[in-house]
Structure 1
Amino acid sequence: MKSFIPYVLQFGNLTTQQIDFISSKAYEVTLHKDEHFWEAGKVVTKIGFITHGILRVFYYNNEGEEHTRYFIEENHLILDGHDGETSYTPSEYLQAVTDTKLVVFSKKDWKEISETIAGWDSIIQKITATYLRKKLERRSQLVSQDAATRYLEFLEKFPTLVNRIPLSYVASYLGITQSSLSRIRKNIR
């Protein structure tokens, strides 16, 4: 909770009593590398906030090939769908790339927080809007760039990730093979 509450307070105000109420609903979870926070085809039952570690969102295409859509690192709220309140069954997997610690809320408790704290939904909407904007900024340019430029952009936008995650995931995110990524890395050194 040490990092969750300060994060939330960037987007709105809460009283000490409200903070205590939110804290009473949270629990901490550790996901070990390769464990899933959610899986495709299974209803999501919890909301999370990453305090340490990295998760990745990935899916399998029709040929059974794995594709990484994006990475989620520390100080990010993981809502299912868009609001965290409606039932959501993802078509993608959310997997720990590293050992990851999260502050977690059950969907029931999250709804209770929403119903109890005036302004909570507004705070969550601001968090969601900020996150979606950043996600779009990171992904939108990748479509029109060559592989070397995509990799250099990745290094610029995710400076702390490249040494923390397997290169196969980076290659998948960039839409290239791992051998192509190795050649690009060799040529830019």
Structure 2
Amino acid sequence: MINNKKRTIAKFTIMEEFIEYMLQFGNLNKQQIRFISSKAIETELKKDAYFAEAGKVLKQVGFIVDGILRICYYNNKGEEITKIFIEENNLLYNLRNVPSTEYIQATTDSKLLTFSNQDWKEISDTIMEWDSIIQKITNKSLIQKLEKVSPLISQDATTRYLEFMKKYPTLVNRIPLSYIASYLGITQQSLSRIRKNIR
């Protein structure tokens, strides 16, 4: 009984965070908020688990409440490349119903609020301002993604690492060094050397 109550409180808090975030981009009344809440599922994603896999159609929309995910792919040499890290207060979705070309993987234990694509469409069909809110969020995240996409290999490795520190000031102690090295296009040993040299 107590566990259920705890789960309800936790879900309410996560839901509140989500709604608070959405309200930065538009207005929702209490009835609309209740409707959105009825469709939301609290999801825990363990470190290294996938939210989306290449070759598969993503069947849900996710909002990151706590944790860090990364978008990655394999190049033609079979090497794993980290393209971008996605932090809290970001939406993950692909509503075009086509297979993903990349993986979305949890780099830490993460908590998300998820909606099935069908429920998300129902919210969109029911709440007039919903699409406008989502468009504003999409525009904001596109700008952020362009700023944070993995750096040019033409820069030297130390410069790339310093740029990473600027783009993601809170991530260094939260995610494995192997993922940071993959993002920078260098080996983990090289990254360790760079970190020692700039301390």
What TM-score, normalized by structure 2, do the two folds share?
Answer: 0.89
The residue that corresponds to 1:36 in the other structure is 50
Match of 1:15 among 22, 25, 29: 29
Could you tell me how far apart the structure 1 residues matched to 2:86 and 2:75 are?
Answer: 21
Could you tell me how far apart the structure 2 residues matched to 1:97 and 1:138 are?
Answer: 16
What TM-score, normalized by structure 1, do the two folds share?
Answer: 0.94
Match of 1:149 among 159, 181, 188: 159
- 1:76 positional shift: 0.7
The residue that corresponds to 2:66 in the other structure is 52
- 1:186 positional shift: 1.2
Could you tell me how far apart the structure 2 residues matched to 1:88 and 1:175 are?
Answer: 28
What number of residue pairs does the alignment pair up? 184
Q: How does 1:128-139 map to 2 (within 5 A)?
A: 128-139=138-149
Do the aligned residues in 1 keep the contact of 2:41 with 2:114 (CA within 8 Å)? Answer: yes
Q: How does 1:94-133 map to 2 (within 5 A)?
A: 94-133=104-143
- 1:135 positional shift: 1.0
Secondary structure of the residue aligned to 1:160 is coil
Letter in 1 for 2:30: T
Identity over aligned residues, as a percent?
Answer: 66
Could you tell me how far apart the structure 2 residues matched to 1:148 and 1:184 are?
Answer: 6
* RMSD (Å), alpha carbons: 1.2
Matched, 1:166 2:166: no
- 1:167 positional shift: 0.6
Letter in 1 for 2:115: F
Match of 1:61 among 75, 78, 88: 75
Do the aligned residues in 1 keep the contact of 2:58 with 2:93 (CA within 8 Å)? Answer: no
Could you tell me how far apart the structure 1 residues matched to 2:42 and 2:169 are?
Answer: 27
Could you tell me how far apart the structure 2 residues matched to 1:109 and 1:48 are?
Answer: 12
Match of 1:92 among 102, 127, 143: 102
- 1:150 positional shift: 1.4
**Cα deviations by residue, 1:84-139 (Å, 9 ceiling, x for unpaired):** 3x203111111111111100000000000011100110100000000010111123
Matched, 1:27 2:41: yes
Do the aligned residues in 1 keep the contact of 2:54 with 2:99 (CA within 8 Å)? Answer: yes
Could you tell me how far apart the structure 1 residues matched to 2:79 and 2:149 are?
Answer: 20
Where in structure 2 are there 5+ consecutive unaligned residues? Answer: 1-14
Letter in 2 for 1:19: I
